[in-house]
Amino acid sequence: MVITATIPIAAQSSSEGFSVSHLDRSVDACTDFYQFACGKWLVANPLSADRARYSRLNELADRNARIVRDILENAAFTASRRTPDEQKIGDAYAACMDQKTIEARRARPLEPLLREIDAVRNREQLIRLAARFSHDGFPSFLTIGAAPDAHDSSVFAAALGQGAMGLPDRDLYLKDDERSTTLRREYQTHVQRMFELLGGGRVLSDPPDRLARVVMEIETAIARATMDRVEFRDPRRRDNPTTVTQLADLAPNIDFASYFRGTGAPPFSRLNLLNPQYVRDISAALGTIPLASWKAYMKWRALDEMASLLTGRFEQEQFRFNGEILSGQKEMRPRWMRCSDAIAGQPGADALGEVVGRIFIQQRFGPDAKARMDELITALQQSLRQRLTDVDWMSAETRERALAKLEAMRRKIGGPDTWRDFSGVTIRRDDYAGNSIRIAADDRQRQLRWIGQPVDRTLWLMTPQTVNAYYAPSLNEVTFPAGILQPPVFDPTIDDAVNFGAAGAMIGHEITHGFDDSGRRFDAGGNLMNWWMPRDEDAFRERVACVASQYSSYASLPGVKLNGNLTLGENVADNGGVRIAYYALMELLARKGPPAAIDGFTPEQRFFISYAQVWCENAADQDFRRRAQEDVHSPGRWRANGVLQNMPEFRKAFGCKEGAPMAPANACQVW
C-alpha cells in the first residue's frame, strides 16, 4: 500500500498507544511501578526469535519500517516514472533484495581492496592505505572526521579519533572476567571462520587461524590505547587541540601529512585529538608490531565492514557472532528489513536515509503535527526556565547564564528544511556492494569537506523516520524526528496527561541534556567553557553523585549491576525531564481546569503510567549484559523506576508510604 495523502503520523492509530490494558493490577504500584505499568504488555509481547530486545519504541519503529518498506518497494518495483531520488533508493533496494546476483559475485567486491593490502611493502605505504580507508569511510587504526570546534562552535575542525575494533567494548579485550574471556575466544573463532570463508590459503598469505590470532593482537593494542567509556563521556577529555606540526613529536612513526593528504581532507594546520594517548600508543605499536600483522588487521577490517554486502555465508557467520553470541538474537531479521535498514539508515551509515526521509515526511508529517510539537517544546522550555529560577542551590550568576543558555537553545522538528544532495552518487540496480561503497565514500568526503568551513545549522544527525531524538551540545540544539512523534510517545487524540508523560518527558529529557554532567560544560553558544561559579559546581557535583550511586545500585539481571557513571548523563536527563514535564502539565491543568479521572486514574496517575509505559521492554539476557557494559542509557525498568523513586509527586499521586520500594527515604534531585 502506498499512502500519498499528508496525514500526521500520530493520527493513524491510538490502539498501539497508551493503554490501561497493559497494567498488571496484581502488582502494587508502590512496590514495582514498572511491573505495574508494563506487566501485561511484557507477557503479551514475548521476544520473537529475530529480536534481542523488543520495547514499546521497537513497536513504533516496526510501524515506521513498514512505511519505509512501502516507499522503497514502490520506488523499486512499482513506480513507472521515477524521480532521480526514487531511482536511487529504488535501485539500491532492488540491488539489496537481488540475492541471486549477490551470491554469484561471491567475495569479488572485496578482492581489489585485498590486493591493495597485499601490495603494501613498508610502513609509509601502510599509512597511505589507512588514508585510503579513511577516504572511503572504512574505519581502521586511524580515523578522521569533522566536528564543530570545541572553542569556536561556528566552525568545523578536523578531529582525529580512535581505532576500530570488532568487539564492542575495549574492556572485553583487557579484562579477565568470564564474559570477557569467553567473548574473546568466540570472537577469535569468528575472525578465523570469516577468513576461512574467504578461501583460506588460496586468497590469503597466511592460514586463517594465524591471521585471527594476529588480529586479536593488534585489536588488543588498540583497546589498550583506547579511552574507557566513562572517561570518554567527559568532553574535556576529548578536547585536545594541537597542530599538525606537533603531531610529529607525539607520533614519530606516523607520517600524518601523508595520511591527511590521502584522506581527501582539505589542508589544515590545527586539529583536535579525541585521545592523544591513543595516537602516541599506536605510533609506538607501529614500531614494534610487524607489518604483516597490520596487514592482517586491515584485511579483517575490510572483510568485517563488507561482510553484509557479500554472500549469505558471510552474512550468516557475521550474524552468528554479532547477533547470536553478543546479543542473544536467535534468527536474522527478514531480508526486506535488513535491506530497508541498510538503505534508509542514519546519515554516516552508508545509507540514503535522507532521501527516504524526505518522502516519509511528505506522506506522514503534516504542519499541524509540527505545530503541536512546537507548542509542547515551548511548554517544556518554560517549565525548565521555572526550575532553573527556583532551584535553591544555584547562585544568581550561574542562574543567569543557565537561563541564557536555555533561551539560546534551538529546536528542529520533523525533518530537515534543506535536504542532502546525493546527485553525485551513482546507484546501480545490479551492484549492491558497489552502491554501498560509493555511498560510504561520498558521505566521508562530504564530511571531510566541512573542515575549516562554517557549521551548517540546517544539518540533521538523524533521519526523519528515526525513533529517537537528540540534544547536540556544540549546537545547543534539540532535534525531534517525525519518526518518534507517534503513539505511544505522541498522540493528538489522547488526554494531555498522557502526552506530557511520554512526549513531554522525552522533550524534557533532551532539553535537560544541556544541563547534565556533560552538557553543562558547554555554554549558550555551544562552546566548551566553564560558566559555573565554583560553589554551584560543588553543589551540582554533590547532586549528580547521588544519582550515580543510586543507579549503580540497580541491576539489569541478577548480578549484573548498572554503571551509574556511564549512564549518569541519561539518568540526570530522565529525572529532570520527567519533573519539568510534570510541572508543565500541572501548569496547563491549572489554566484549563482539572479534568475528571479517566479509566479510574487521575491526570497525575495517567502522567506517570504513560511515562513508565514508554519503557516497557523484553530482552535476551545477553542483551541486558551487553547494554550494562556499553549503553549510556539505563534499561527500561530503571528508566521508569529510578526516576519515579526520586519524585515526591509520584508518591503523592499513588499514595506510597515513605519506605516503600518506590518511595525510599533518600531520594536524589538535580533539577
Set of cell numbers at residue 222: 588498540
Q: Which residue has the cell 539481571?
A: 557
Set of cell numbers at residue 363: 506522506
CA angle 565, 568, 573 (to 5 degrees): 180
- For the bound state, the minimum distance from the C-beta of residue 518 to Zn ion, rounded and expressed in Å, comes to 10
- For the bound state, the minimum distance from the C-beta of residue 25 to Zn ion, rounded and expressed in Å, comes to 31
Identity of the residue, 355 or 505, whose beta carbon is nearer to Zn ion in the bound complex = 505
Element of type H or E holding 539: helix 534-552
Asked if 9 contacts 485 with a C-beta cutoff of 8 angstroms, the reply is: yes
Stretch of 139-147, 367-375, 474-482, 565-573 lying at the interface with Zn ion (CB under 5 A)? 565-573
Using CB under 5 A as the binding rule, the residues of this chain from 30 to 59 that contact Zn ion are none
Quickly list DSSP for 430-451: T-HHHHHHHHHHHHHHHHHHTT
**Number of chain positions touching Zn ion (CB under 5 A):** 2
Identity of the residue, 303 or 573, whose beta carbon is nearer to Zn ion in the bound complex = 573
- For the bound state, the minimum distance from the C-beta of residue 671 to Zn ion, rounded and expressed in Å, comes to 14
User: x/- binding map, residues 567-586, to Zn ion, per CB under 5 A?
Assistant: ---x--x-------------
- Residues 572-597 as b or e (16 or more Cβ within 10 Å = b): bbbbbbbbbbbbbbbebbeeeeeeee
CB under 8 Å to 49, separation ≥6 — which residues? 329, 330, 331
Identity of the residue, 32 or 570, whose beta carbon is nearer to Zn ion in the bound complex = 570
Asked if 634 contacts 646 with a C-beta cutoff of 8 angstroms, the reply is: no
Identity of the residue, 432 or 480, whose beta carbon is nearer to Zn ion in the bound complex = 480
- For the bound state, the minimum distance from the C-beta of residue 513 to Zn ion, rounded and expressed in Å, comes to 6
- For the bound state, the minimum distance from the C-beta of residue 238 to Zn ion, rounded and expressed in Å, comes to 18
Identity of the residue, 97 or 511, whose beta carbon is nearer to Zn ion in the bound complex = 511
User: x/- binding map, residues 514-553, to Zn ion, per CB under 5 A?
Assistant: ----------------------------------------
CA trace torsion 187, 348, 522, 635 (10° rounding): -50
- For the bound state, the minimum distance from the C-beta of residue 479 to Zn ion, rounded and expressed in Å, comes to 12
- For the bound state, the minimum distance from the C-beta of residue 236 to Zn ion, rounded and expressed in Å, comes to 20
Identity of the residue, 215 or 573, whose beta carbon is nearer to Zn ion in the bound complex = 573
Identity of the residue, 345 or 519, whose beta carbon is nearer to Zn ion in the bound complex = 519
Identity of the residue, 499 or 567, whose beta carbon is nearer to Zn ion in the bound complex = 567
Asked if 603 contacts 495 with a C-beta cutoff of 8 angstroms, the reply is: yes
- For the bound state, the minimum distance from the C-beta of residue 654 to Zn ion, rounded and expressed in Å, comes to 26
Identity of the residue, 76 or 503, whose beta carbon is nearer to Zn ion in the bound complex = 503
Q: At what angle do helices 568-592 and 367-390 cross, to 10 degrees?
A: 100
Stretch of 243-251, 310-318, 515-523, 562-570 lying at the interface with Zn ion (CB under 5 A)? 562-570
- For the bound state, the minimum distance from the C-beta of residue 574 to Zn ion, rounded and expressed in Å, comes to 8
Omega before residue 488 within 30° of 0, cis: yes
What is the side-by-side strand order in the sheet with 410-414? 410-414, 477-481, 470-472
Distance CA 221, CA 226 (A): 9
Positions that interact with Zn ion (CB under 5 A): 570, 573
